[in-house]
């Protein structure tokens, strides 16, 4: 009885969230070419002054540019800062 | 800014990570919920900042990622406290300073009166103090609205007032009431009559029929301007006679004074007392009893002034001067000079609307008194309104 109630509640929460967030793909937000927020990241694969490569589950996103650095990092979110000149998706 | 302040208060370590896989270190930190900031890659690894509480736990992570940790600098309040641990006075002083600042800023330091033109500022300050606002009043327990209401009741000349507490100053803005002009009832018929004997020199009549000529002599109570005016058709109109009639008036005034008089003169004996003033409290520094029979006290207050405000600290100086009563026998010349001064005051204050045309005086001593008789010729307005009562 309780399990049925919990399932109903989870379904109702899922219905309120937009479908693009439920697809398992990373959510990227750009502030020009200076700051990028990656939601759904799993970790950093390469970290240097010119290239930052991030594991985003189903793909690897590579940011190339100048003065690149990770401003903030959490288990499922990364914020990259710097002068980005190129973005590459490896699927 | 706030975040930086919080980090400074909690304390943080600026460290360098030397190793081949800084990425692994960052990932492990994020998985363990360790917050890193100002992370910058270097040729050997990376440099970053971490809270002092998390620094111990990253040692294991660094070992796992086959890297070495090196502290570059330690920043924040915990390190500052450790540095000045031996100097407890500094901390106590800082805490005391903050407490004292909070304590002193909760009192009114100065009361500024703005907009008082005809009402004395001292009188306003005294009334404000009676109603609960003076230097040294606690700001927290003050009911500004009530003080405003009470002040308007206490001083009827105040039309509007507002008390603004800014920091430790109370700015009292005042608007005085505009005095209501005296209403002249100029509808009732009235004549102008002479209030003293004299010779008419000039007149300015605005209403009524003139019954006098320049150079004519008039006696007290004589009709000068008639309110009954006849028009061309032979009709009669009652008016409110108005105007000024100037006449030369002869007057005599006697001034007299005793040749023996008592004079209060200061002696060389003076006693000074000092007290320290703090808000409304006076703390005596020097106490001395003078024992003078007759004395006058002079008070001087020395205050510290900062820009616009007078600070509520200072030194009060009280000087007590001894006076003694001396019996003085005046000479004839001294008595005459004193009476001439009295005469001048009489002309300035009692006959301020009259012009002195002639003045002659005679004086002499009789029964130990000096008496001066002054004969004046004043040129003044002698017109006086006299109401007319018409019965049907």
Contact B374, B252 (CB under 8 A): yes
Beta-carbon contacts of residue B83 (< 8 Å; ≥ 6 apart): none
ipTM over 0.90: no
pLDDT digit string (tens) for B238-290?
888 888 999 999 999 999 998 888 888 899 988 999 999 877 778 888 877 77
Q: What is the CATH number of the domain that holds B63?
A: 3.30.70.120
- DSSP class per residue in chain A: -HHHHHHHHHHHHHHHS-GGGGSS--EEEEETTTEEEEET--EEEEE-SSEEEEE-SSSEEEEEEEEEEEEEEETTEEEEEEEEEEEEEE-
Task: Evaluate the CA torsion angle B144, B146, B150, B152 in order and state its sign.
Answer: positive
Tell me, rounded to whole angstroms, the distance of Cα A60 from its chain centroid: 10
Dist. CA A84–CA B84, nearest whole Å: 45
What are chain A's domains? 24-90 (2.60.40.2000)
| Beta-carbon count within 10 A of A87 CB | 14
Domain end: B310, B328, B346, which one? B328
Contact A41, A54 (CB under 8 A): yes
Range of the domain at B166: 110-176
Residues B334 and B251 reside in one and the same domain = yes
Residues B318 and B344 reside in one and the same domain = no
Residues B66 and B167 reside in one and the same domain = no
Residues B160 and B266 reside in one and the same domain = no
Identify whether B252 is part of a domain: yes
Nearest CB to B22: which of A47, A74, A75?
A47
Would you say residue A4 has pLDDT above 70?
A: no
Identify whether B35 is part of a domain: yes
Crossing angle (nearest 10°) for helices B144-154 and B121-130: 130
A13 falls in which pLDDT band (50, 70, 90)?
low
- Return the pLDDT at A8: 67
Identify whether B244 is part of a domain: yes
Dist. CA B335–CA A56, nearest whole Å: 115
Would you say residue A1 has pLDDT above 60?
A: no
Q: Closest chain A residue to B38 measured between Cα atoms?
A: A71
Domain end: B134, B154, B176, which one? B176
- The mean pLDDT values, 10 residues at a time, for chain B of 392 residues are 90 91 88 87 88 88 89 91 85 92 87 89 92 86 90 91 89 89 76 92 89 91 89 84 92 91 88 85 82 88 76 86 90 90 92 90 87 93 86 67
CA torsion angle for A20, A26, A29, A33 (degrees, to 10)? -140
Contacts of B29 in chain A (CB under 8 A): 73
- Return the pLDDT at A5: 64
pLDDT digit string (tens) for A38-57?
998 888 999 988 999 999 98
Tell me, rounded to whole angstroms, the distance of Cα A44 from its chain centroid: 11
Dist. CA A21–CA A14, nearest whole Å: 10
Residues B273 and B363 reside in one and the same domain = no
- Return the pLDDT at B43: 85
Dist. CA B147–CA B172, nearest whole Å: 11
* Structure tokens given for B244: 């000024």
Domain end: B328, B357, B384, which one? B328
Task: State the maximum Cα–Cα separation within chain B, in Å, rounded to a whole number.
Answer: 132
**pTM beyond 0.80:** no
Contact B251, B321 (CB under 8 A): no
Dist. CA A42–CA B62, nearest whole Å: 19
> How many domains does one find in chain B?
4
Contacts of A44 in chain B (CB under 8 A): 23, 26-27
- Return the pLDDT at B208: 87
Dist. CA A43–CA A69, nearest whole Å: 14
Dist. CA B355–CA B92, nearest whole Å: 77
- Whether residue B22 and residue A43 make contact (CB cut-off 8 A), yes or no, is no
- DSSP class per residue in B39-106: EEE-SSEEEEEEEHHHHTTHHHHHHHTTEEEEEEEEESHHHHHHHTTT-HHHHHHHHHHHHHHHHHTT
Identify whether B183 is part of a domain: no
- Return the pLDDT at A3: 64
- Return the pLDDT at B392: 63
The residue with tokens 């300015």 is B204
B 201-220 near A (Cβ less than 8 A):
none
Mean pLDDT of chain A: 84
**E strand map for B138-259:** 158-166, 169-176, 190-194, 198-207, 209-210, 217-218, 223-226, 228-230, 236-238, 242-258
Contact B218, B382 (CB under 8 A): yes
DSSP conformation class of B177: P
Residues B144 and B73 reside in one and the same domain = no
Residues B204 and B312 reside in one and the same domain = no
Residues B158 and B131 reside in one and the same domain = yes
Residues B334 and B235 reside in one and the same domain = yes
Identify whether B89 is part of a domain: no
Dist. CA B227–CA A59, nearest whole Å: 115
Distances (CA, A) of B192 to B58, B106, B223: 110, 67, 6
Q: Which of B179, B207, B41 is nearest to B119 (CA)?
A: B179
Contact B318, B297 (CB under 8 A): yes
B 291-350 near A (Cβ less than 8 A):
none
Identify whether B218 is part of a domain: yes
User: In a 3-state reduction of DSSP, which class is residue B127?
Assistant: helix
H-helix or E-strand spanning residue A4: helix A2-16
Q: Does B50 touch chain A (CB under 8 A)?
A: no
- Return the pLDDT at B240: 87
To the nearest whole angstrom, how far is the Cα of B43 from the nearest Cα of chain A? 8
Phi, psi of B157 (to 5 degrees): -75, -15
Dist. CA B206–CA B193, nearest whole Å: 15
Residues B356 and B254 reside in one and the same domain = yes
pLDDT digit string (tens) for A27-37?
999 999 999 99
Residues B243 and B280 reside in one and the same domain = no
- Return the pLDDT at A91: 87
Residues B152 and B14 reside in one and the same domain = no
- Return the pLDDT at A21: 62
């Amino acid at each position: 009885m309780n399990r049925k109630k919990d399932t109903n509640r989870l379904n109702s929460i899922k219905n309120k969230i937009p479908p693009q967030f439920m697809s398992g793909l990373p959510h990227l937000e750009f502030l020009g070419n200076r700051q990028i927020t990656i939601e759904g990241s799993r970790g950093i694969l390469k970290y240097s002054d010119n290239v930052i490569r991030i594991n985003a589950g189903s793909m690897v996103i590579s940011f190339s540019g100048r003065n690149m650095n990770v401003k903030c990092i959490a288990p499922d979110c990364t914020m990259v800062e710097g002068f980005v000149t190129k973005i590459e998706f490896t699927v | 800014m706030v975040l930086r302040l919080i980090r400074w208060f909690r304390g943080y370590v600026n460290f360098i990570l030397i190793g081949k896989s800084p990425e692994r270190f960052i990932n492990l930190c994020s998985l363990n919920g360790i917050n890193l900031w100002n992370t910058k890659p270097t040729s050997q690894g990376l440099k970053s900042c971490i809270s002092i509480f998390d620094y111990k736990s990253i040692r294991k992570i660094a070992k796992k990622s086959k890297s070495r940790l090196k502290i570059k600098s330690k920043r924040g309040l915990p390190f500052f406290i450790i540095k000045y641990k031996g100097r407890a006075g500094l901390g106590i002083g800082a805490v005391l300073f903050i407490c004292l600042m909070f304590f002193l800023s909760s009192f009114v330091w100065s009361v500024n009166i703005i907009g008082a033109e005809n009402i004395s500022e001292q009188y306003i300050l005294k009334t404000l103090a009676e109603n609960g606002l003076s230097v040294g009043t606690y700001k927290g327990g003050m009911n500004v609205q009530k003080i405003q209401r009470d002040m308007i009741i206490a001083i009827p000349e105040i039309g509007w007032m507002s008390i603004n507490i800014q920091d430790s100053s109370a700015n009292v803005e005042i608007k005085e009431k505009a005095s209501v002009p005296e209403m002249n009832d100029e509808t009732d018929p009235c004549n102008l009559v002479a209030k003293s004997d004299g010779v008419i020199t000039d007149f300015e009549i605005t209403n009524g029929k003139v019954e006098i000529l320049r150079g004519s002599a008039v006696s007290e109570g004589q009709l000068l301007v008639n309110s009954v005016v006849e028009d061309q058709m032979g009709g009669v109109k009652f008016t409110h006679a108005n105007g000024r009639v100037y006449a030369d008036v002869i007057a005599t005034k006697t001034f007299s004074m005793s040749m023996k008089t008592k004079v209060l003169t200061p002696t060389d004996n003076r006693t000074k007392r000092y007290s320290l003033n703090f808000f409304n409290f006076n703390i005596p520094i020097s106490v001395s009893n003078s024992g003078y029979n007759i004395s006058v006290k002079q008070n001087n207050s020395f205050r510290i002034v900062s820009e616009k405000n007078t600070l509520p600290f200072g030194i009060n100086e009280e000087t007590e001067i001894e006076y003694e009563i001396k019996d003085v026998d005046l000479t004839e010349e001294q008595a005459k000079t004193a009476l001439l001064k009295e005469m001048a005051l009489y002309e300035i204050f009692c006959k301020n609307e009259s012009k002195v045309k002639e003045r002659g005086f005679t004086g002499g001593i009789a029964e130990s008194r000096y008496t001066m008789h002054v004969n004046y010729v004043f040129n003044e307005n002698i017109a006086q309104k006299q109401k007319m009562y018409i019965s049907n």
